[in-house]
Amino acid sequence: MTPGVRFSRECRQKVSHGTRDAFERALDIGAGRSADLCRFASAFHSFFAELSQKAEDVEAYSPDVGRMLQETGFRLEALGYLVYRHVVSLRSVEELLGGMITLWWTRIKPLAERDREKTQNPRMFEWAQWLAERVAERRTGTESEPAFRAHADWH
């Protein structure tokens, strides 16, 4: 079973019928609807093309990158909280998005720390950071094999 299929199954198994609508809205925030994935992927590409690890450079980023920072942060906040509440397994998230999550956090961490201090809000990107740290812990000391190799014999 692929990580995406496992992720979807876990979500649906853990949510009762009465709370499915609320859960689906939360999942939309965490994973996004397929209709906006192209826009998200394009902005994500722009984000990594422009973003350095220096928080002070943020004023020089394009408006698209600024929106991407916020959009990715909001989605990872929701996804981190879903993992924390055991709605979705950390394993599924790590297998499906682990590399993107850790890369995003290494790039955004200086900016998040600066903005936390500036706004006196230590909770800014709290679940995104928590999720990135949990993914990094899972990856410590292991070499991750790409899905196309690890599951080449799947049928």
Is residue 154 domain-resident? no
Is residue 128 domain-resident? yes
Is residue 147 domain-resident? no
Is residue 23 domain-resident? yes
Question: What residue numbers bound the domain in which 80 lies?
Answer: 3-140
pLDDT for 63-113, tens place per residue? 777 777 778 888 899 999 999 999 999 999 998 888 889 888 888 888 888
**Residue 65 pLDDT:** 72
CA distance 132 to 138: 10
**Mean pLDDT across 25-31:** 49
Number of domains in the chain: 1
Handedness of CA 89, 95, 97, 99 (dihedral sign): positive
CA distance 25 to 108: 26
Is residue 66 domain-resident? yes
Is residue 59 domain-resident? yes
Is residue 19 domain-resident? yes
More confident residue, 106 or 116: 116
**Mean pLDDT across 29-50:** 58
When the pLDDT of each residue in the chain is averaged and rounded to a whole number, the result is 75
The model's confidence at residue 23, banded by pLDDT at 50, 70 and 90, is very low
Cβ count near 113 (within 10 Å): 15
CA distance 146 to 150: 6
**Residue 17 pLDDT:** 45
Is residue 149 domain-resident? no
More confident residue, 127 or 60: 127
pLDDT > 90 fraction of the chain, expressed in percent and rounded: 26
**Residue 137 pLDDT:** 92
**Mean pLDDT across 144-155:** 85
Q: What is the DSSP letter of 129?
A: H
